[in-house]
Each structure stands twice: as C-alpha cells, then as structure tokens.
A = this chain, B = another copy of it.
C-alpha cells in the first residue's frame, strides 16, 4: 500500500510498470489517471491544487485499507499531485491489483469516489476570464454514497 502526495510531477506509465513488476503473479491491474482537462468550450490555462498533506495521507491510507479488505486487493497505490498544473498534466493516479478483474475495477472506482469527496485537495481553475475555486459536485457525493 503506497500513498504519495507531492507537488512533483509523476510519470503514469513508469508508475504503472513499477506497480505491475511488484505484483508479479497477480492477474488483474486497473489504473485510473486523471489529467487536467481543457477544451475549446471551456479553456483552462492552469489548475492549481491546494492540499493539506498530513490529512490527505491519513485519508488516502484509510480508503486504501477499506478498499483492500472490501475487495480483496493484493496491492493499491494512490498518487496525487498538488500545486500548479497545466492541461494534459496528470493530477491523480490510482492503481489496484487483484486476482480477478472485477475486484481490481471495483477497488479503483471506490478509491476514486472516496478521494473526490474525502481527500483534502481544493482545485482552483485559471481560465481566460480569471481564477475561481472549483465547487464540490453533488454527483461526487452520490458516487461515494453508493458504497455505503
């Protein structure tokens, strides 16, 4: 179980390969990578994430513990960046390993749903019209609620 919260960029492919190598002999690995979005309709210049690292590490470790016992994961890693990011840069990378695919998929979805509502990160979007704090989404609360 690994939790990493840092302002340093990370390489999703290298993380995936290291995770797979450590899990030699297991069958199914799922990764989720969230990247800074930007589209012509909603152009973003930068995304700045604020973080409370001590609490983030506690919360992410606890969600990995829950996912591990609930779905029988063999390994799970959560990497989350904060600071200033630009479109296309990876923000978050969640990896799960399990004997079979269903557990690996469910574990990764569970971790993402918890992370969205329960990990202390706050996004600030900078677009052509200025900077604003991103509001929490009701659909993220709903996504988390389905595991309860």
Which A residues have a C-beta under 8 Å from some C-beta of B? 11-17, 20-21, 23-35, 37-39, 87-88, 90, 99, 101-102, 104-105, 108-109, 112, 143
Contacts and interface: CB of A to CB of B under 8 A. Distances in A.
A37 B26 CA distance: 5
A109 B23 CA distance: 21
Contacts of A14: 13
A27 to B, nearest CB: 4
B20 A11 contact: no
Contacts of A32: 28-30, 101, 104-105
B26 A35 contact: yes
A33 B29 contact: yes
Nearest to A33: B29
